[in-house]
Amino acid sequence: MFWGPPGIVDGAGGSRTSAIEHQSYRKRIMPPSSTVPAEAPKRIGVAADHGGFESKKYLVGMLREAHYDVVDFGDSQPNPEDDYPDFVVPLARAVARGEVGRGVAICGSGVGACIAANKVPGVRACLIHESFSARQGVEDDDMNVVCLGGRVVANTFAWELVKVFLDAQFSGLERHQRRVAKVASLEHRDSD
């Protein structure tokens, strides 16, 4: 299974600006290790605070049953005092480094998890409540972390959303690469 966008060739057919954006995107956001070959294990990272703990437990079971290689970033127990950034940020960094192909981040509403994950350059996290966006978010926007509200969506529906997310692939269409690169360029600018 292909986890990252296909190689960005040279911006042929695009403007000079888009070619530069593409190169920048490729260098900084898509390290070679982020592209897992079709035959490699499907390695998925999961993270949750107490608000998402039960959902995470359920989803880890379902993912493993479906033969995904799951890396659990915690929390390892339901602790009402824990803080979602402590688990979501390590997951997000692992996604950005290509150590896991994609991530599933859960808190009570999914909002905090989404905000935290998107602070990590290279992460494109979205709070998802329905399957259209679970699929199109990957196909068009190259979403690599799905955020869920453990107190909002039932476990079985969360699993449906995760399956749609994991089955979807970035289209790689030039117009989508261009848009993703424009978003990525903000990370570059803000870290200068």
Instruction: Compare residues 8 and 60 and give the one whose CB is closer to ligand RB5.
Output: 60
Instruction: Compare residues 3 and 53 and give the one whose CB is closer to ligand RB5.
Output: 53
Q: Edge-to-edge strand order for the sheet containing 125-127?
A: 69-72, 43-48, 102-107, 145-149, 125-127
Write the DSSP string, 34-55.
G---TTS--EEEEEE-TTTHHH
Instruction: Compare residues 107 and 120 and give the one whose CB is closer to ligand RB5.
Output: 107
Backbone φ/ψ region at 82: left (φ over 0), alpha (ψ -120 to 50), beta? beta
Token couple for 100: 């896991």
Which of 78-97 are b and which e, b meaning 16 or more Cβ less than 10 Å from the residue's Cβ?
Answer: eeeebebbebbbbbbbbbbe
- Minimal distance, residue 48 CB to ligand RB5, in Å: 8
- Minimal distance, residue 93 CB to ligand RB5, in Å: 19
Instruction: Compare residues 107 and 180 and give the one whose CB is closer to ligand RB5.
Output: 107
> Which residue, 190, 191, 134, 184, is CA-closest to 28?
184
Note the residues at the interface with ligand RB5 (CB under 6 A).
49, 51, 84, 107-109, 111-112
Token couple for 73: 């970033």
Instruction: Compare residues 50 and 178 and give the one whose CB is closer to ligand RB5.
Output: 50
- Minimal distance, residue 190 CB to ligand RB5, in Å: 23
